[in-house]
Structures are given as C-alpha cells and as structure tokens.
Amino acid sequence: MAKMPNLQGPDRDKPVCFDPEKNLFITIDDIFDKKATITPIDKLTEEQQKKLVVERLRRGADFTEQAISGPPCTRDEVVEHIEKDSEYGQMRTQVELSYLREFLKQIEDEL
C-alpha cells in the first residue's frame, strides 16, 4: 500500500472531491474530521470534474508547467485551457482526476 502524502501549506487546502448535492468542495481535513464524506470522482458529471480540477489549481501554489511539445503555461493559463476544453486542458484534467482517484483510495484505506 502506498504511503499517504504529507500535505502542507496550500496543498492541504486543495479540495480532494466535490459534493454535488451540497455544491461543496471537500478537503482532506473535512474527511478526516468527519465533516464530509468522499464522493467518488466517477459519480461527478464532466462539468463537476472540471470544476473540481480548476478549484484545486486555483487553491494551490502558483506554478509554471510545460508539455513536451508546447510552450510553458502558468497556472492561470492551465485553468484557461481546462475551461476552454482545449486538447491540453482535457489531458491536464484527466491527469488530475487520475491522481485524485488514487489519492481518494489511499484516504479510504486510512479511515
């Protein structure tokens, strides 16, 4: 079993899932403090998934990243790609959702 990452600073404030019934982002602390439960990523609509990914990016530390064949992108540019549903935005969304699926499994194992 993989070890849970030790989230600190802005990473700790990032939501790990979204409650569509309450229209509420849920953090790891919300789950461990029993203020909320995990909503599986695959139970969210595509729009809710994108909303979750965008919120995670906005709450995290600022960054610049670069795809192998593209120019560098700031956090705001990555968000723009996701919101415009560009090919890069779709790929970036899937990467983040894949990470979240695995991370939520680790959280469930810890509960």
Query: What is the reported pTM?
Result: 0.91
pLDDT of residue 52: 98
For 42-79, how does the pLDDT look when each residue is reduced to its tens digit (9 = 90+)? 999 999 999 999 999 999 889 999 988 889 999 999 99
Count other Cβ atoms within 10 Å, centred on residue 25. 19
pLDDT band of residue 11 (cuts 50, 70, 90) is confident
pLDDT of residue 5: 67
The span from the CA of 81 to the CA of 35, in Å, is 32
Residues 6+ apart with CB under 8 A from 8: none
The span from the CA of 24 to the CA of 27, in Å, is 10
CB-based burial of residue 52 (10 Å sphere; 0-12 exposed, 13-18 middle, 19+ buried)? buried
Q: Indicate the pairing of strand 15-19 with strand 64-66.
A: unpaired
